[in-house]
Structure 1
């Protein structure tokens, strides 16, 4: 009994202390930010064309009162998003309860139960999305509740709705009711018809799932639900709701396609801004312009090529769609010129497989094994065994017996081990270099931390994991004679409102490998394409180098390589590692790489891209 009393007392003390802490933090926020008209951070591509905005998106205008919006939209919004808006003090505790119940059932933190005030608070003070740990999500949620209560005490309900409507995301780069109304329907918010207003409210539940462009059937179904709910409120008669539901879904999306193409690039720019450590108050103020390194036309063609390629080769395994990622960077600078983070035709697919998709690297690691061996003095023409390994040949207690795919002979020159991707000779070459030395080299290149590279000979054929971005950057050393390009970046420069430069991308290229060894490896990689594992890509007159990569069961299929100006990496596989019978890096990744590199723009003497 006494233990229970003290337990309850302890819980009460924790709640009281936590309440005081978050109340104090909430009190320090500047409430004028809440009603301030949104300031945008303009995002331009490498050629100066607008492709989106950060924080409050492409909002060109903001409403100042609800009189500027069709009243039926406000009614629909409250009905679908926060029925108790005029009754609660900022936190819809019923919604919170439902969210907690759902998250406990699903063992997730997917639902937050946020009402309109909480969402407006979140968009005001946490405008740029960041990756959060579980604790950070709880921390933000507690602060969100206290800020919402403070906002409710200081602002009228109409002011809160105005702030919400000026900031809410409608997908495709449209943030705010003005941008959405103009972008989807070519109208002001006040001139929207009832079915158009219902469409915009329908989108809010899941902007990609209910996009009128990507998923018109799902969007119309939810739009009709909104119209039905409006009939329940009395805002529409049942007859009017039925009549409006029969109207086909239409949108005059004059700007939508361009905004959608730039959405992923804008998210990457927002992520990069965070990593730069720019103070939140600077980001909140906005008003500056970011020029990206992206070539929009090439980026568009890359997306189209990826979709077409995946549709052509997809084995259509139930519940496991084939995915792809592709990245093109300027070798000398590390500037991202084109990027595709997924297959591009699935709704609600936000996984960034270029930077965040860690997969087994397979044979794409072999150039770095051989480069390290050449640096150590092993000759490329030296004849070594390529037959099966003997027990403990690679060390006491090591019983590993890799096999070759397409055996080239029991004794071959070292260079052929790379050109034809032979596992047995590669294991012997790696053993002479030493697994520790290999791990240190991979860490120096940024491919993987030395302590995460498996400390066994299997690492020589890529049993550890890395990301496409890291692999692509590492491949730049073969064109730069041992120098690695600057960190990959999508932001070229940031310009202040007065035209002054706030930031320019770094240009240093550190030496990480021996120049002569890299040149020798480069020669071998050229032969990979001319008559090795990538000979199907042999293009007369093109100075291409590269390497295929395939893991066990073809769960991961890679190709990485370059021409004199650009380095490109491609990965193909399923998000859940899945055996792909008949697949390989040469069959699944290489054809897409070839299609991408065929579209490389030429570079004139002033280093400007031309087509």
Structure 2
């Protein structure tokens, strides 16, 4: 009986156990079905829209447009919030990829988007032994899901969406493509969006040039780029980098010796900020930005979908003619000379030496009007008037209130407290400059420096600024005379007082220019000597022979668009002309009489490499080869024995007082150089135009206001203000043999009939036209 009861009890217990087992499997199956249902609902978009196949194929990320130099270097980028330029997997160094896999996803090559073991480990240990997110999941989160609140349900739904997208990504892309996308999408801080920007900004390198320890630092930033910011948290970033190195050692990517060596290294950050106001070729990039906006606004250049290209978001590649090496040399030359020149200007404009500093020849009322004009032209005035609706009285009062600000100095930026009006007065002291360098045969602009510091002086003195050309205008008068009268550089004219009578060429009053110093020697000067030494009376006589209208017509055909009245006084450079126009015009002489419009952009491509724009050279014949070559030979005299002779070593050696600020430096050029200095009235503008056969460069130096200038020509002439920049720049260019800047003679036309070598006797058959020197002029002895 007892045995039977025991059997019944055992049977009942077995049935009860089976019942529990059955319920376990039912619950387990229901859980599986629930999870599957949740995933299905999520994939169907019930919990929020998921990316379509098309979007997965082309993930939408903002791409910066890239400005590329002629030698393949990145000059800068245009972007709003994302400074991102993608790279391919092949461009990533192996140790960078290894560092990522070792630190973020050790089983990356073994799973299909979800790491089951990692997920289980995270669930069991509640995330205390590492998370479960794979690289694919993290990419999914970066690309296609948004940050949510701390609500647990929402976080679970987000994680499910990440899993689904991660699996889809693994099906759509290769492992290598996913890694490249992950590196390209991440924000490393300090405008470093993506690995290419990060490598350039933190180390001044392309990704493929990164060392192991640099790669480890950048991978370490994936944990939290705000916390592990190498500019603010050097110790924390170093520790995090070493964690990555330990992971690389753990996964056999580096050995123990390398680990110990690399962990001992400092961060060695080489910070290269990439912003619109910093970096190389800033003035050129700002000019190019405006050009691109106009290009994109032309309906002929719209995208295939009929929308405008967005230069900040569409990842365009703009290939320019700028040579990054020559651009760097130009900027260095400007910095070196202008720093010295400014120091001398400060010395001469102390309150004791010049009570109206930095101005000369202005009354207190005129000075106040100058400041008032500057205030009304400022962005601060526009903002307060148009955006805030402030009255004139309120705006004026705000300009007198002291506020913290950062100002420019030649020793670096300085934090200070001053009123906006005082800052206007402060910046009036600084001399400005513009410089452009161009290949005259192709028209390709090689260097463009629009000022001394774009962040603080944003007015571009290359294209925007126009100033009186001074004696740099004279070669146009000489070229016209050579063209019309077949003159030779060896022909002579007298240095005597000369007047062009009133109303002869539209001039209301008689025009009687004076030589520098007001002296007339009465001697006969060759045209070559007269141009080299800027003898005004000889230029006036040539102008009287040809008339101003042919000169204006010539310079217009040479690309100068500045308004210009055809009056005799233009012979001495009274018209306001830009550096850009002057370089283009002088290029005509170096290019055997053919004008080539300056070219800055060779082509534009979209993010897929499709060519959207290609430049077409704009050229026209202006002068014969003979006239162009003769004018060049005239200008060679400027650097042989005239105001440009300080480019030669012999000039510096003969100076009894070697003043670095004036002579510049022992340039000691021995090759043929054609050029012209220019100095305007009261030394307001200093110019130098210099040419060798394959490079034409123009330099202007002066104050923002014409009343800001040196009191004498010792420092205020073009040979002191502008020529040293040209000399420094060319020395740097010649030192870089890869640039192949010419030291040869200018090409001589085969059928040259004009005598250009005055050391040789003239051939009777080639004598120039005889001139009656007194015809059409009044002479007063």
TM-score > 0.5, shorter chain as reference: yes
- Aligned match of 2:709: 579
Confirm or deny that 1:557 pairs with 2:557.
no
Confirm or deny that 1:409 pairs with 2:512.
no
Q: How does 1:289-304 map to 2 (within 5 A)?
A: 289-304=317-332
- Aligned match of 2:291: 272
- Aligned match of 2:494: 385
Q: How does 1:137-176 map to 2 (within 5 A)?
A: none
Selected match of 2:430 from 321, 331, 337: 321
The separation in 2 between residues aligned to 1:604 and 1:474, in whole angstroms, is 27
Confirm or deny that 1:58 pairs with 2:171.
no
- Aligned match of 2:572: 461
Distance 1:194-1:65 versus aligned 2 partners, 3 A rule: farther
Selected match of 1:600 from 733, 742, 748: 733
Confirm or deny that 1:435 pairs with 2:548.
yes
Give 1:176 shift: 10
Give 1:571 shift: 0.6
Give 1:398 shift: 2.8
- Aligned match of 1:419: 532
Distance 1:189-1:67 versus aligned 2 partners, 3 A rule: farther
The separation in 2 between residues aligned to 1:189 and 1:265, in whole angstroms, is 38
Contact 2:438 2:695 (8 Å CA) reproduced: yes
Superposition RMSD in Å: 4.0
- Aligned match of 2:593: 482
The separation in 2 between residues aligned to 1:490 and 1:333, in whole angstroms, is 11
The separation in 2 between residues aligned to 1:339 and 1:547, in whole angstroms, is 20
Selected match of 1:494 from 575, 584, 604: 604
The separation in 2 between residues aligned to 1:267 and 1:341, in whole angstroms, is 10
Give 1:362 shift: 0.8
The separation in 2 between residues aligned to 1:64 and 1:433, in whole angstroms, is 73
The separation in 1 between residues aligned to 2:148 and 2:633, in whole angstroms, is 66
- Aligned match of 1:29: none
Confirm or deny that 1:283 pairs with 2:309.
yes
Partner of 2:525, secondary structure, is strand
Give 1:572 shift: 0.5
Instruction: Give TM-score scaled by structure 1 length.
Output: 0.61
Q: How does 1:73-84 map to 2 (within 5 A)?
A: none
Selected match of 2:273 from 235, 240, 256: 256
The separation in 2 between residues aligned to 1:197 and 1:68, in whole angstroms, is 29
- Aligned match of 1:145: none
Partner of 1:599, secondary structure, is helix
Contact 1:313 1:588 (8 Å CA) reproduced: yes
Q: How does 1:87-236 map to 2 (within 5 A)?
A: 183=201, 187=221, 190-193=224-227
- Aligned match of 1:447: 560
Distance 1:601-1:47 versus aligned 2 partners, 3 A rule: farther
Once the two structures are superposed, residues 532-578 of structure 1 have per-residue CA deviations (whole angstroms, 9 ceiling, x without a partner) of 12111134531211100110011110001211111100011111222
Give 1:36 shift: 5.5
Structure number, greater radius of gyration: 2
Distance 1:531-1:181 versus aligned 2 partners, 3 A rule: closer
Out of 511-520 and 564-573, give the one that drifted further: 511-520
The separation in 2 between residues aligned to 1:382 and 1:483, in whole angstroms, is 25
Partner of 2:474, secondary structure, is helix
- Aligned match of 2:73: 49
Distance 1:495-1:182 versus aligned 2 partners, 3 A rule: closer
Give the number of aligned pairs. Answer: 425
Once the two structures are superposed, residues 425-467 of structure 1 have per-residue CA deviations (whole angstroms, 9 ceiling, x without a partner) of 1112112111111121222112244xx2133211110111010
Distance 1:263-1:412 versus aligned 2 partners, 3 A rule: closer
Selected match of 1:307 from 335, 343, 348: 335
Out of 386-395 and 519-528, give the one that drifted further: 386-395
Distance 1:38-1:351 versus aligned 2 partners, 3 A rule: same
Out of 463-472 and 453-462, give the one that drifted further: 453-462
- Aligned match of 1:567: 696
Give 1:286 shift: 2.4
Once the two structures are superposed, residues 371-426 of structure 1 have per-residue CA deviations (whole angstroms, 9 ceiling, x without a partner) of 01100015233333322224727838532332112657323233332221111111
Distance 1:36-1:457 versus aligned 2 partners, 3 A rule: same
Contact 1:58 1:175 (8 Å CA) reproduced: yes
Give 1:588 shift: 0.9
Contact 1:551 1:557 (8 Å CA) reproduced: yes
Partner of 2:437, secondary structure, is strand
Contact 1:331 1:476 (8 Å CA) reproduced: yes
Distance 1:604-1:180 versus aligned 2 partners, 3 A rule: closer
Once the two structures are superposed, residues 294-326 of structure 1 have per-residue CA deviations (whole angstroms, 9 ceiling, x without a partner) of 211221122122111011111035532011111
Contact 2:502 2:508 (8 Å CA) reproduced: no
Contact 1:561 1:567 (8 Å CA) reproduced: yes
Confirm or deny that 1:591 pairs with 2:731.
no
Give 1:66 shift: 7.0
Runs of 4+ in 1 over 6 A off after TM superposition: 61-66, 173-182, 194-199, 602-605, 607-611
The separation in 1 between residues aligned to 2:581 and 2:148, in whole angstroms, is 49
Give 1:604 shift: 8.9
Confirm or deny that 1:532 pairs with 2:558.
no
The separation in 2 between residues aligned to 1:567 and 1:304, in whole angstroms, is 18
- Aligned match of 1:107: none
Once the two structures are superposed, residues 58-108 of structure 1 have per-residue CA deviations (whole angstroms, 9 ceiling, x without a partner) of 325887677499xxxxxxxxxxxxxxxxxxxxxxxxxxxxxxxxxxxxxxx
Q: How does 1:17-36 map to 2 (within 5 A)?
A: none
Give 1:191 shift: 3.5
Confirm or deny that 1:358 pairs with 2:471.
no
The separation in 1 between residues aligned to 2:709 and 2:480, in whole angstroms, is 31
- Aligned match of 2:633: 523
Instruction: Give TM-score scaled by structure 2 length.
Output: 0.49
